Amino acid sequence: MNEQQHHHWAIEASGIYRNYGTLEVLKGVSINIAKGKMVAIVGKSGSGKSTLLHILGTLDVPDAGEVSICDMPVKGLKSKTLASLRSKHLGFVFQFHHLLPEFTALENIAMPALITGMKKKDAFKRAGELLGYLHLSERSDHKPNQLSGGEQQRVAIGRALMNEPDIILADEPSGNLDTETSAQVHQLLRSITTDMGKSLVIVTHNTDLAALSDEIYEMKDGLLKS
């Protein structure tokens, strides 16, 4: 394999197995996520798609199989190295926004950079730019309880983008939102790939969101088919 091809993948996963007790959730799943592509994983509830997403995001460890993030194999990495890999390369968006209630939109977005030691001034400047990109500048000083569901989720997406990761992993990102708000969030996710060149992996029930992606995989009986 030549060098160029090798750098084509944001995430490579091969032969992923995951059991919970006697329940086999993933039965040898392989998937490669190309750089700068938006990929949707669909399937019934309980089909294992969230489990797969957590494994791709290094939040869960497979019972067998290999995962590489930006050409770095994650197996056997010390937890500190893994945490640093995660904060550098990966951003996460979940169905529930998990924003910190006592902090403003600006502070919530800046948080990942503050945690990794960026100066407050620089972090707030970048968070302010992201608020602009998210069309939320006028909500900068609002706390989560003063924001609508769609605004909260956009702040959560801003937080995921804060450390300029290569890859965004999203689990049912519009699962809690009404149709119109969902459509806005879907367009935003699409633009993160189109405008910013990020790789996106999205687990979703939403057919409109899946339709916007470059590739769709279906999770069924512990296996993935495109």
Render pLDDT for 168-187 as a digit per residue (tens, 0 to 9): 999 988 877 788 888 888 98
Q: How many CA atoms lie within 13 A of 13 on its CB side?
A: 25
What pLDDT is recorded for position 117?
87
* Mean local confidence (pLDDT), 91-102: 83
pTM for the predicted model, two decimal places: 0.86
β-bridge mates for residue 201, sequence order: 39, 169
Angle at 39 between CA 53 and CA 3, to 5 degrees: 95
Termini Cα distance of the chain: 23
pLDDT(95) > 60: yes
Render pLDDT for 60-87 as a digit per residue (tens, 0 to 9): 889 999 998 888 888 888 888 888 888 7
Decide which of 3 and 226 is more confident.
226
State the Cα–Cα distance between residues 111 and 162, nearest whole angstrom.
8
Count of beta carbons in the 10 Å neighbourhood of residue 63: 13
* Mean local confidence (pLDDT), 85-92: 85
- Distance, C-alpha 38 to centroid of its chain: 11
**What distances in angstroms separate CA 123 from CA 14, 189, 195, one per listed residue?**
37, 22, 21
